[in-house]
Each structure stands twice: as structure tokens, then as C-alpha cells.
Structure 1
Amino acid sequence: MCGITGWVGFARDLTRERATVEAMTATMRERGPDDGATWSAQHAALGHRRLAVIDIEGGAQPMVADTPDGQVVLTYSGEVYNFVELRQELRRRGHEFRTASDTEVVLRSYLEWGDALVDRLNGMYAFAIWDARAERLLLVRDRLGVKPLYLYRTADGVLFGSEPKAILANPLAKPRIGLNGLRELFAYSKTVGEAVWAGMRELKPGRLAVMDRSGLRERTYWQLEAKPHEDDTETTSERIRELMDDIMRRQLVSDVPQCVLLSGGLDSSALTGLAAQHLTPLRTFAVDFVGQTDNFTADVLQDSPDAPFVRDVAQHVGTDHTDIVLDHSELADPEVRRAAVAARDIPIGLGDMDNSLYLLSKAVREHSTVAISGESADEVFGGYWWFHDPGVQRGNLYPWVSGPGGKQSVGRPLLRKELSDQLDIGTFLRDGYAAVRAESPVLHGEDPHERRMRRISYAHLTRFLPYMLDRKDRMSMAVGLEVRVPFCDHRLVEYVFNAPWAMKTHDGREKSLLRSAVADVIPRSVAQRRKSPYPSTQELKYVMALQEQVEELLNDRSNPTFNIIDTTWAREIVSREPGSLNRVDRLFTERLLDIAAWLSSHRLELHLT
């Protein structure tokens, strides 16, 4: 999986900047705990931290290819799942390989096809290639944006890295955040390409960038397109199953221990059933909370605890299963919060759901290096409840903030009034969603409802999914765990995106096509279960711990948190009965604590004018 970073500067000698490049690389030690190295030439320097997954001995980076006209050097993060087929083709074309790694396949693919290699890759990846023959840097990000890649323009070149922290370790990058960055923090949506930090941005999914002496240029090499769907429902279900079988076969290639993250929902249960056809024994892990099953209280989002369904799947498939059971003190530990916020670089988390994902990943990493996750199935197949709400479908806000909780979030008195007025989050969200709808591809002749649902699906795949993928990547890579997401295979995404909404709900439920495609590998209980979100603790002692931590902040009058947060709101949260705080109250209480942890660890500059 790994972490990458680098620096191109045409007005300086970067061989003299070794200490800075090493500092940039060192920020991603957790992403690549197995090895680290740098490479430099006069105008380019690359850094790499390695998490060894394929070809443990031979895949060291940065990887160099010597040519008669100069060196070509690669620093690469991720996995290319069709590397075996590509290597065979490259051998037929005369290439010789020194390693068995997919890294060398990517490097040799560039030597053979140049920038057009992007059209041949199937996987999750972000990589940089310095081509000394033309003094040219190529930056590439995978189609769905599973792996992150950030850019920061300088006066004479560019800095890049898997995470903002790598770029911010360079003195040329200033840790500044302005009003637009704050809007991104508090809008609960992700503007594609934005990075919060002033001057920094993400390379968009499905794009490549070229940096040379003439400047920085980008182009899109993949995007969703609207196409007629010719298959009937049964054929569509069969095709989805064929794709899933092939995806699992490709993604279970590894030279290190693997497992599946099992929640007892349809998505992870399907992957567990499919993975068991390739791995025996199959290890599975689930997160749970002390007393959650016995004391569970249903609400509008979750009507059942996960544990009974997890047991059903483990028994049905025959996995070697482990529950990672967390108590409220672990979840509320300020050190865990600081680690989770540091992993994400910015305080945009989901509270205890981030903390538990971090702790789950940490526990899983003691047994496995690679984990399979059901992330993105809801975005691909239409699983969230708001997909199916007529009012939300016709709304002018992003669907995930159009429901009652989301609308409360937009108008929440979390921020100081003057700052809230400046940010005007409501207008920011409406303008953003209008831009997404205008950008969405449409199919000539589609009826209005199908067109509306296509646009909603497009918004999820291009705005909401990147947010969720970033969360998964950061929490797992913070402990050196590689998480693969089979539902992000671009072939599956393209095919399901063009299936009519009526077909996606053909049995009157969410994710109908996925349910029918995997019915034979999941227990009946899971097939009948209603969509349930990632679990959140219901322990009131956890809420009390949050209130105590907010009270401690309020007692520190010099704390910079309250340059942003409204103290009246914070005091009101502290004074309430723990049981009276709903999901939105808790989420914003957690956001306050995240901001405090973030400000305590960053010497950032806030520009509020």
C-alpha cells in the first residue's frame, strides 16, 4: 500500500535538500512501516514508505529503470490487480523483470505505453514517475480515488504526497486555512479536488497531471458516462455476480495474511461468502461494544445490533472469526482521538465511529496486513435510506444532508455566530449540489425520475464516496493495514451506474441487485436484514466522558478552540442529561473535541477575513 511523496523544482538543486525530503517521507512512517527510502536528482526528489504486500523481498522503492537516455523512477502506493496479465504482455513485448512485484509492472508499463498506461490498470493506486529523459513528472490517481494524492504548487515546481502532512513538512508549504477551507470542514460534504489547506489540493480521481518546465497540466482519463443498459434484471444480476467473482479472485492475491472486515450487513457478508471460495481458512473480524447487544435500543437509522448477524455469517461460511470488543473508556481516550485526527490531518471525522475504526484496524493489524472491506456498496447500489425518500430525492441539498439530522447539522449553532455568518454553509451546500447535478451525465430519453436518481447516484459516487474512502484509508493506514474495497472496481461501478433505478430496487428494497447476485453465499437472516450503518456505541458513560472533556476545555479560557466554537452552545451541551443528546448533538460534541485535538497539534494560520 505505502505512502509516497516528492518534490520537483526547476530553479534549485534538490540533491542538496535531502534532509527535507527525508522529513517529508518520515511523516508517513505509519503508512509504510516496513521500509523507507528516498531518491534525488538535480530537479526531482522522490520519497517512499513501504508496506510490503506483494514480493516482500523485491519490491523496494523508489524503483529505478535505467535507459540509454536517462533514468525513469517510480514511487507508488496501492495495488494493481491485473499485474499478472500485464507482466505477461510486457514480457511478450520484450521486457525483462527483476522482481515479482506489481510495482515493476507499473514502471515497465510506463516505459512501454507512456501516459497511456493508465487505461490498462485495474486497481487502487496513486503514483509518481520522474522521467529524467524529458525532465517530466507524471502523477496518477486511480479512477474512484481509493488512494489519496495531494499537490502543492511552488514558484518553480510542485510538492506532492499521499497525505497533507508530507507536503506540510516542506518549508515551502504554509499551514494556512482560509474561509473556503473552513467551509469544507463544516459542510459534511467533499468538494472534489479540494484539500482544506490553502494552496493545496487533491489530484481528482481518474485524473493524471504532468509537471515539466512549461508548467502543470492535467487531464481526465476516466469518468462516469451515461449509457443505455440493455440487460434485463436476471441478466444484470448474473453479470454483477460474474464481475464480483472476478474482482475477488484478483483482489485476494497477496504474499501476507488477509482477512475480511465483517459487520453482519449485506455488503461485508457478501464479500465474506465470496472470499471463502478462495481462502481457507478465512479470518474475519468485527467491531463491537461492551454490552451493546444486550442493551441495544433501536432508532431510525439502526433497528438491530450487528453481533447476531455477524455470528450467523461466520457460522454459515465457516470463518475463523474474532470480535474486537471496545469499552467506553477506550473510545473516549483523548490519545485515541488525537491519533484519529492526526491520521486524517483535519477534524472532519465521525466521532466514535472514527475512533472505533482506528482501534479495530489496530487490532486487526496484529493478525493481518490486508483486509477486505464492503465500503462503497451503498454508493454503488443505492443503499442509504435517503436514496429512497421522495422528499430527499427532490431536495436542493446533498442527499446525505437533506434528512432531518443533516438539516439540523447545517443550521447547528456550533460555530461562533460571526464565523457562521461568514461561512454561510447552507448556500455553500446548495451551490455545490447544483454544480454536481449540472455536471452529472444524463441519458437521452430517460424519464424524469430515472434522471433524478442517476444524478443522485452520481453525487454519491463523486462526492460522498471520496469522503468515506478517505476515512477508511486514513484510519487503516495509520496503523499499517491495507484495506481493499472490491465494490470500487471501475468495471462494476460503470455497469451498475447505468442500470435503471427501477432495476436497482426491483424487490422493493435497497441494494436489490446486490442481494440477488449473492443470495447463495449469505444466510437468510442477512438477506432479510434492513440496511444498518457503521455501528456507534450507545453507552451513556461514553457520552458523559465527552461532556467531561468539553467542560475541561471550557475551563481553559485561553484555548484556541473557542476562537471558532460558540461557548454558549458548548456550555449547554455540558449541562444536559447524557441521555438527551441525540446523534446530531453527539456528532457536534465530537467535532468540538476533534477541533481541540487538531489545534493543539498544529501551528496553523487561520485566515478568517
Structure 2
Amino acid sequence: MTVCGIAGWVDWDRDLRRGGEVVWRMTRTLAPRGPDAQEVWLSPRAALGHSRLAVIDIEGGRQPMVRTHRGGGEVAIVFSGEIYNFRELRAELAGHGWSFTTRSDTEVLLTAYLQWGTELGSRLIGMFAFAIWDYRERRLVLARDRFGIKPLYYARLSEGNGVIFGSEPKTLLAHPGMPAELDAEGLAELMAVPRARTPGHGTFRGMREVRPGCVVVADERGLREAPYWRLEARENVRDFAEGAVHIRGLLDDIVRHEVVADVPVGSLLSGGIDSSAVTALAARELTGDLVAFSVNPPSSGAPGSDAWRPSTDEPFAALVAAELGIKHVTTAVTVDHLVDHRDIGLTARDLPGWGDLDTTMYLLFQSVKDHCTVALSGEAADEMFGGYLWQNDPGYVAHDSFPWMYGRRQPEVLLREDIRRAIEPRRYEADRYHEALGEVPRLLGDSPERRRQREVFHLGVTRWLPGLLDRQDRLSTALGLEVRVPFADHRLAEYLFNVPAALKAHAATPKALLREACTNLLPAEIVNRPKSAYPASRNDHYVDRMRDLVLGLLADTTAPVFELLDRARVQAAVTSDLDALPGPITAVTPAISLSYLLQLNGWLERYRVRVRL
């Protein structure tokens, strides 16, 4: 097992044995993701690079890895992620006559391709992004896990007959044939739907992401993408007690597989039901070796004064750790930390980020990395079990666009009018929304209410969740840390997609199904604790300092961001009503919106982005 970075270049017309320096340059951009080793494999038509963080079979799991077809012909793989059912697959493949020389899931994955070809995706359980060059078939195969936990970008080069790919945008941008350009559609992604990521969109002109749950095949005939997994609408699950038992059984199995590692394992612990359940299940498997980690950013106001955070995490996280008898480490974050590290999100994401939400997560992961190489997260539980306001409040649910956008302005309101006309942000949002609705599976006989519940769930796991998973991946791998996400398991999603909202919130209790499944795991104070959002700082001193930085940006007559934004509109927003300032996410604080403006300008400067509308 290995969480790493991958890179590569395939060209059907040129000899890439002379392209090694380019692929080395691409691979070196991924050094933070894979600090343990970097290697490049060269062949006449393909060059593959790998930057490795070793987690299991530290000696035997080196990449790029090569095997041969039974009939001859090399097949090479670079892989990032974890195949949690690799032991079961290994046994199945052995039954087909295959032998193995390592304990790694990489070898199992490559052998699975030799046995099943491009159909292998549906057999995999895990988080993964991989690229396979098949010399005999003269094709490149790219694949990504069902929820897009692990990133994978690709692009067809404008000159020649080549395709490049990599784990991050910066990897592709290191190739001389991939300029950092932004077209109208890319700008609309940033400004019109910044919190509703369009699957497959890479923001930069010509750059694509492999869509979650899909395989891309590239050969001399072109590029073809096909899904290997989709949610399916089935008859509703109606029994609450039976559902809770089933959920508990799934979670037991998922966590049992996800704690497997040859390195220390920790858990992210906020004291909410999601992270506490994962921590408790992991502690059972690891028999006291687990360490739990929390973060405490600077706050303002009395506890409970923020509707999004009715209670602070620290007392609840400490209670869970004490009950489980495990070590608990809290990362205290100051205003100076937030200001000094304000560009961490931009550096990790290669795009403007989410301000102090990124910074606090990075600093938390820095503490985790001091103790562990692997950590478990409670991310994705809200999307699965209905923990957000936008999944339950009638106003949000009935909104005629992405429900989390209800009552909120997007950054596009700050655009210059000529830019607005060029990208048509409202039309772009509407098109992306109706495109997303077109993907939702239907069940004959569903009531309009039940149909909308399915839509909201599907929107959540395909448009909302990817942004959270991407943030977590980028900020953790920037430190060489692997974060695993037990709730982002397709078996949970397949079950819960078909559970009515009233059952998930049984007896008007949000996430009642999850709470019931975990009743005997945790203290009642944790099981019954209301949701408290990930901590975003509204500290007055921090907001003032970020505001001063934006005022300095406004005074800079050469700032490239004002080739896109209306300087007067930004000035008015920053000097009049900060709480009304549009930002990239729901429930923004003024500081996050201010940070977005700074990072948008920094992105244009640092990446030398050419805007071509």
C-alpha cells in the first residue's frame, strides 16, 4: 500500500526514452506526496514517474512496477492510494494461476489488470488513482476511485500525439506542452460554482480530471472515458433498527480493513459522532496503539454564540480519548499562525483555497505527521447520513440550484461587467446544476419528495463531497501524510442512497441511524451531541489583519486580479459589510472571503496564469 504521487507521458509517435528529464521534472513536483523515493521508468512510447510514501511492504512495493502478459508484452503501473481488499483479490488471482513476489497491493492491482483488463475497477475497494501502460495493446489506462478521494489529472498535448497525466495540476504544468491558461469555463468554475465542483473539470485550459468511478483509455484512436460504478435506485429501506445493525456491520468491516499499515496509525478526532465513531472502531482494532488528534483555532465570542458551531470540540474530544484510553494531542492555532501561513491552501491545491479552513487543517496534519504516517478521518459521514442543514431545511432543499447555494452570493458578483458577459456565470451555474440532476438515478413510483431526497444525496456525493476530499488529500499529502476516509465507502453509499431522509433522521434526530449504530461504542454525550461544523475562525483580530491585506491589494495598481474583478465593487464590499462579502464556500466567515481574494491574485501571479476568454 502506498499513498504517493504519479506522473507520466505517453506518445505514440515519438521515442520517450529521450524524454526522461521532462518526466523527472514532473515527478519532482510530487516530492511532498512521496518523500520516501522517486523513480522514473522509460520505454519507447511511455515514461512513468512515481513519488512514494511507503505504508505497506516498504521494500517490495517500489514503483513503477512492471509485469508481463501471459502471452508476452510488458505492462507497467504507477499507483497512488490503498486497495483495502487486496488480500482477498490476491487469493482470487492465485486461483487463476497468478503468483506474487511481494506483499504489496500494487502488484495485486497490476495483476488484476492482466486478469480482467479495464473491467478491474468494479472489483476494487479502496481509494486509488493509477495509470497503466500496456505495451502490447499500445494503450494507457487511467482509473480513479468511486468518490475521487485520490486525484488524477490528464491532458492531450496540443502538439504531437501525446497524453500527459499526474496527481496534481502542478505536475502537468511542469511539462513544456502544458501552459497555465484560464478560459471562460475555467473562470466560471472558480467564480460561479466554487463549491459545486464539476466532475472531470481541471480548471486550467485543456486539463481534465478522471471522473470519480471512471476509467479513461487513451490510444491512437483517442481518449475514451467510461464509468465502472454508479449509484442505483432501489426500493426504500424502511426498518430503523435493522438499518442501524447493517450500518454497524459495514463500519466494523471498513475500519478493520483501513487500519492495516506497517507504520503508526492515528485518528482525527473532533468529538462529534463521525470522527468519534471512527476513532472508537479503530481503537478496538489497534488495541491501545491509536493516537487521536484535534485542532483548536482562535475563536471569538462565547461558546455557542456561533450557530454553525454550537459547542467547542476540545471537551468532547478529550472525553472520547479518556473513555477509549488513548493518547490525545491538540494543536493550538494562533492568529499569527493563520496570517503567516495563509497561502498554504494555494500551494497545496494549485488553486485558490478556503483560507483558515485550509491553514488549520494543514497545521493539524503537521502535528499528526510528527507521530503517525496514516490517519483516519470522519469526512463524508454528513453526506451519507444527512448531517447538513442544506439536506434537511425545506428552504435549502427546495432551492432551484445546488441546495447549499440557497441564500448565498457567489464570488461572481465581484466580476467586472465585461468579464461577466464573457463567462455568463448564472447560465453556467444553471447548466451545471441541470447536468448534475440528469445523472441522478430514478425509481418508478417515487414520490416527488422522495425523488428530491435522492437528488440532494446525489448532488452531495458528486458535487459537494469532492471538494472536501480534495482539500483533505492536498493538505495531508503536502506533508507526506496519508488520510483514510472510512465513510467514503461505496457500500455505505449504495445502501444510504436508498434510505429515506425520515429514517436517517428517525424521531426528528439528525443522523439518528448513525447514532443508533454507534450507541454501544461511545458515551451518551457524544452520541447525542449536535453537529458542530469544522472550526472557521471569526476572531476579530484575525479578520482585521486579513482585511488590511486586502486593502493593500486594492492599493496595488498592478494586481492582476483586477483584470477580472471590479476594483470598486471589491472596495465597497471590504469597507462596508464584510459579512455580505461573497466567498467560495457555504457558511463563510469574512476572513475566508478575504483570503479568497488574496489567493486568487496570488494564483494568477505565482502560476503566471494567462487569461484567455
State TM-score, norm by structure 1: 0.95
2:326 — aligned with what? 319
Q: Output the CA distance in 2 between the equivalents of 1:409 and 1:218.
A: 31
Gaps of 5+ in 1: none
Gaps of 5+ in 2: 582-586
Q: Does 1:233 align with 2:240?
A: yes
Q: Does 1:408 align with 2:409?
A: yes
Q: Output the CA distance in 1 between the equivalents of 2:10 and 2:565.
A: 39
1:373 — aligned with what? 377
Q: Output the CA distance in 1 between the equivalents of 2:235 and 2:553.
A: 56
Q: Output the CA distance in 2 between the equivalents of 1:422 and 1:516.
A: 51
- Using the TM superposition, give the Cα deviation of residue 468 of structure 1 relative to its aligned residue in structure 2, in angstroms: 1.2
Contact 1:340–1:475 (Cα < 8 Å) also in 2: yes
Cα offsets for 1:20-58 (capped at 9, x unmatched): 010011111111111010111111111100011111111
- Using the TM superposition, give the Cα deviation of residue 598 of structure 1 relative to its aligned residue in structure 2, in angstroms: 1.1
Q: Output the CA distance in 1 between the equivalents of 2:301 and 2:466.
A: 35
Cα offsets for 1:114-149 (capped at 9, x unmatched): 222222111000101111122221111111111111
Contact 1:550–1:570 (Cα < 8 Å) also in 2: no
Q: Per the alignment, do residues 267 and 542 of structure 1 end up closer, same or farther by CA in structure 2, a change over 3 Å counting?
A: same
Name the amino acid aligned to 2:44: Q
Q: Output the CA distance in 2 between the equivalents of 1:522 and 1:442.
A: 37
Q: Does 1:30 align with 2:32?
A: yes
2:296 — aligned with what? 288
Contact 1:409–1:584 (Cα < 8 Å) also in 2: no
User: Which of 392, 398, 405 is matched with 2:396 structurally?
Assistant: 392
- Higher mean alpha-carbon deviation, 113-122 vs 123-132, is at 113-122
Contact 1:573–1:589 (Cα < 8 Å) also in 2: no
Contact 2:53–2:480 (Cα < 8 Å) also in 1: yes
- Using the TM superposition, give the Cα deviation of residue 525 of structure 1 relative to its aligned residue in structure 2, in angstroms: 1.5
- Higher mean alpha-carbon deviation, 11-20 vs 503-512, is at 503-512
Name the amino acid aligned to 1:374: G
Q: Output the CA distance in 1 between the equivalents of 2:143 and 2:575.
A: 50
The alignment partner of 1:53 has SS state of coil
1:205 — aligned with what? 212
Cα offsets for 1:312-365 (capped at 9, x unmatched): 2112222200000100011111xx233320211111x22110111111112211
Q: Output the CA distance in 1 between the equivalents of 2:240 and 2:579.
A: 46
Q: Output the CA distance in 2 between the equivalents of 1:415 and 1:352.
A: 24
Q: Output the CA distance in 2 between the equivalents of 1:521 and 1:21.
A: 49
Contact 2:297–2:360 (Cα < 8 Å) also in 1: no
Contact 2:538–2:590 (Cα < 8 Å) also in 1: no
1:566 — aligned with what? 566
- Using the TM superposition, give the Cα deviation of residue 259 of structure 1 relative to its aligned residue in structure 2, in angstroms: 0.5
Q: Output the CA distance in 1 between the equivalents of 2:369 and 2:552.
A: 33
Cα offsets for 1:285-330 (capped at 9, x unmatched): 001024x498445223221111121122112222200000100011
The alignment partner of 1:267 has SS state of helix
Q: Output the CA distance in 2 between the equivalents of 1:507 and 1:309.
A: 24
Q: Per the alignment, do residues 431 and 300 of structure 1 end up closer, same or farther by CA in structure 2, a change over 3 Å counting?
A: farther
Q: Output the CA distance in 2 between the equivalents of 1:386 and 1:123.
A: 28
Q: Output the CA distance in 2 between the equivalents of 1:77 and 1:63.
A: 12
The alignment partner of 1:520 has SS state of coil
1:471 — aligned with what? 471
The alignment partner of 1:4 has SS state of strand
Q: Output the CA distance in 1 between the equivalents of 2:162 and 2:324.
A: 53
Contact 1:473–1:483 (Cα < 8 Å) also in 2: yes
1:47 — aligned with what? 49
Q: Per the alignment, do residues 463 and 579 of structure 1 end up closer, same or farther by CA in structure 2, a change over 3 Å counting?
A: closer
- Tell me the matched-pair count: 600
Q: Output the CA distance in 1 between the equivalents of 2:531 and 2:40.
A: 46
Q: Does 1:91 align with 2:94?
A: yes
- Using the TM superposition, give the Cα deviation of residue 576 of structure 1 relative to its aligned residue in structure 2, in angstroms: 5.4
2:154 — aligned with what? 151
Contact 2:380–2:465 (Cα < 8 Å) also in 1: yes
Contact 1:293–1:305 (Cα < 8 Å) also in 2: no
Cα offsets for 1:91-128 (capped at 9, x unmatched): 23322222111111111111222222222111000101
Cα offsets for 1:355-405 (capped at 9, x unmatched): 111111122111111110111111111110111111221111101111x3x
- Higher mean alpha-carbon deviation, 54-63 vs 586-595, is at 586-595
Q: Map residues 522-541 of structure 1 onto 2, 5 A cutoff.
A: 522-541=522-541
1:17 — aligned with what? 19
- Using the TM superposition, give the Cα deviation of residue 483 of structure 1 relative to its aligned residue in structure 2, in angstroms: 0.6
1:132 — aligned with what? 135
- Using the TM superposition, give the Cα deviation of residue 427 of structure 1 relative to its aligned residue in structure 2, in angstroms: 2.8
Structure 1 runs of 4+ aligned residues shifted over 6 Å read 577-582
Q: Per the alignment, do residues 194 and 579 of structure 1 end up closer, same or farther by CA in structure 2, a change over 3 Å counting?
A: closer
The alignment partner of 1:408 has SS state of coil
1:264 — aligned with what? 271
Q: Map residues 61-460 of structure 1 onto 2, 5 A cutoff.
A: 61-67=63-69, 69-154=72-157, 155-186=160-191, 187-188=193-194, 189-230=196-237, 232-279=239-286, 280-290=288-298, 292=299, 295-296=302-303, 298-333=305-340, 336-347=341-352, 349-402=353-406, 404=407, 407-409=408-410, 413-460=413-460
Identity over aligned residues, as a percent? 44
Q: Output the CA distance in 2 between the equivalents of 1:396 and 1:22.
A: 47
- Using the TM superposition, give the Cα deviation of residue 230 of structure 1 relative to its aligned residue in structure 2, in angstroms: 4.8
Cα offsets for 1:67-113 (capped at 9, x unmatched): 55221111000000011111122223322222111111111111222
Q: Output the CA distance in 1 between the equivalents of 2:144 and 2:580.
A: 44
- Higher mean alpha-carbon deviation, 589-598 vs 422-431, is at 422-431
- Using the TM superposition, give the Cα deviation of residue 568 of structure 1 relative to its aligned residue in structure 2, in angstroms: 2.3
- Using the TM superposition, give the Cα deviation of residue 580 of structure 1 relative to its aligned residue in structure 2, in angstroms: 9.5
Contact 1:337–1:597 (Cα < 8 Å) also in 2: no
Contact 2:12–2:45 (Cα < 8 Å) also in 1: yes
Q: Output the CA distance in 2 between the equivalents of 1:307 and 1:199.
A: 45
Q: Output the CA distance in 1 between the equivalents of 2:74 and 2:359.
A: 43
Q: Output the CA distance in 2 between the equivalents of 1:432 and 1:110.
A: 34
- Using the TM superposition, give the Cα deviation of residue 583 of structure 1 relative to its aligned residue in structure 2, in angstroms: 3.8
